[in-house]
Amino acid sequence: MHTLSIPYERIQRKDFDATLLRLEGAAVEVARNAYAPYSRFRVGAALLLSNGVVVVGSNQENAAYPSGLCAERTALFAAGAQYPNEAVEILLLVAFSEEDRVESITPCGACRQVLMETSSRHQKPFKVIMVGKEQALVLHDNRGLLPFAFDGSDLPD
């Protein structure tokens, strides 16, 4: 039998440095722009790019449910559209149910796949910081979220 383990740490929100405070502020603000009339669950994602720019996204729902998009992919695709050559260094996430901050959420499976493609594309893994009420879960390498991933290297040349 083989076992995979995923290293992560917990940090206190009160210990956030200036970069994390900046990203958290941006994620909280953009979560207000979530379009979530169906779930009433608002998610904010903030990305720090290698050029220092912060790109944000929030979930955007649709009456045809699968047509909506999560905050993470909204942000990652916006970054790809605007800054195609900049690697992602940090992805920080916050979420609210109605007006209340919830505990750390982790990206859905489809978003994990897009996180993986982002790090492969730029050949640079990035941190994923999932912020809760008092604590945040910190994954130093996004690839931990998707073991046995399928990526471009699996496709024939």
CB 58 within 8 A of CB 30: yes
- Establish if 108 lies at the interface with ligand THU (CB under 6 A): yes
> Which C-beta is closer to ligand THU: that of 58 or that of 119?
58
Give the binding range for ligand THU (CB under 6 A) out of 13-21, 65-73, 82-90, 113-121: 65-73
Residue in 110, 143, 152, 136 with CA at minimum distance from that of residue 4: 143
Is 46 annotated for ligand binding?
A: no
CB 139 within 8 A of CB 145: yes
Q: What percent of the residues of the chain are helix, what percent strand, and what percent coil, each to the nearest 5? A: 35, 25, 40
**24 is known as an active-site residue:** no
Which of 16, 22, 68, 144 touches ligand THU (CB under 6 A)? Answer: 68
- Establish if 80 lies at the interface with ligand THU (CB under 6 A): no
Considering Cα of 144, then 43, then 70, then 90, what sign does the dihedral take? negative
Interacting residues toward ligand THU by CB under 6 A: 36, 39, 41, 43, 59, 61, 68, 70-72, 105, 107-108, 111
